[in-house]
């Protein structure tokens, strides 16, 4: 006679856990960490890189140094790296003889260019501007030119540039609109177009030849267009002479607005 088999005794709870562990039924992937545990968010686990970025302090963008308004990349590239003053003369258009002038400085390279004087009303050549100035064309040469020498009929008003006081700066006659020219050269700053630097503005040497013109100055405005120079009111000339500093390698940036913006 067969004896019925007895069902095995139920395993105790601790023994059951041990068996499950030994047989590998509980894998690490089947245990879920509670939301809010380290490395977990509402959307699930984060990668190590994402967690690091989230916990790292944010860095603020450093602003670029300020550029001179209205100047495009080509014109900005013509300004020498060591120039820390720029007198920008912007003509209304290529054939216009009215313009506006602003003096910029960049004492702090990280800050960039800052307007320190102007805008001032100005005149330029009667026929406007040109890329290729020749004697008698009544146009002002476009471009970037250094400013190293000053002078005038009147005594030095406190210029930092070398100043040549001389009676030969006297002028008379009438301008294009019949306005008197007397006093126009009471104060001048030579623009280093077709001239030798470091000499009086009265010097007549022309390295590019006489046919390319010369004697292009910043001078006192007489109320009308010029032969090719840039002119600003007398009180502004005095201010400019006191501001231009040879240790800051000043330049003039001049031309019509469209050209300067390229």
Query: Catalytic positions, please?
Result: 219, 229
Distance CA 236, CA 120 (A): 8
Which pair of structure tokens corresponds to residue 185?
Answer: 């050269």
Give yes or no for a contact between 195 and 205, defined as CB atoms under 8 angstroms apart.
yes
Q: How many CB atoms lie within 10 A of CB 89?
A: 25
Give yes or no for a contact between 176 and 224, defined as CB atoms under 8 angstroms apart.
yes
Distance CA 219, CA 239 (A): 12
Strand order in the sheet with 188-190: 143-146, 251-256, 85-91, 98-105, 114-123, 230-232, 217-220, 188-190, 150-152, 163-165
Q: How many CB atoms lie within 10 A of CB 1?
A: 2
- The phi, psi pair for 249, rounded to 5°, reads 45, 60
- The phi, psi pair for 6, rounded to 5°, reads -90, 135
Q: Which residue has the tokens 């260019």?
A: 113
Strand boundaries in 7-91, DSSP class E? 40-41, 44-45, 85-91
Distance CA 248, CA 213 (A): 28
């Amino acid at each position: 006679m067969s004896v019925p088999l007895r069902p095995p005794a139920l395993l105790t709870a601790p023994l059951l856990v041990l068996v499950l562990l030994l047989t590998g039924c509980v894998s690490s992937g089947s245990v879920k960490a509670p939301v809010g545990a380290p490395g977990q968010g509402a959307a699930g686990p984060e990668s190590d890189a994402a967690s690091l970025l989230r916990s790292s302090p944010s860095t603020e963008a450093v602003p670029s140094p300020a550029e001179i308004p209205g100047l495009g990349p080509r014109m900005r590239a013509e300004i020498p790296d060591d120039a820390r003053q720029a007198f920008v003369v912007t003509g209304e258009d290529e054939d216009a003889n009215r313009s506006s002038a602003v003096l910029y400085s960049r004492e702090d390279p990280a800050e960039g260019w800052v307007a320190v004087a102007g805008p001032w009303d100005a005149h330029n050549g009667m026929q406007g501007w040109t890329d290729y100035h020749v004697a008698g064309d009544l146009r002002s040469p476009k471009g970037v030119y250094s400013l190293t020498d000053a002078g005038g009929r009147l005594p030095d008003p406190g210029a930092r540039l070398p100043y040549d006081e001389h009676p030969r700066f006297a002028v008379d006659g009438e301008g294009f609109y019949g306005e008197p020219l007397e006093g126009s050269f009471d104060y001048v700053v030579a623009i280093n177009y077709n001239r030798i630097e470091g000499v009086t503005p009265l010097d007549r040497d022309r390295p590019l030849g006489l046919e390319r013109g010369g004697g292009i100055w910043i001078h006192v405005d007489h109320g009308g267009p010029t032969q090719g120079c840039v002119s600003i009111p007398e009180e502004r000339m005095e201010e400019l002479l006191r501001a231009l500093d040879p240790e800051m390698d000043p330049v003039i940036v001049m031309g019509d607005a469209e050209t300067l913006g390229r």
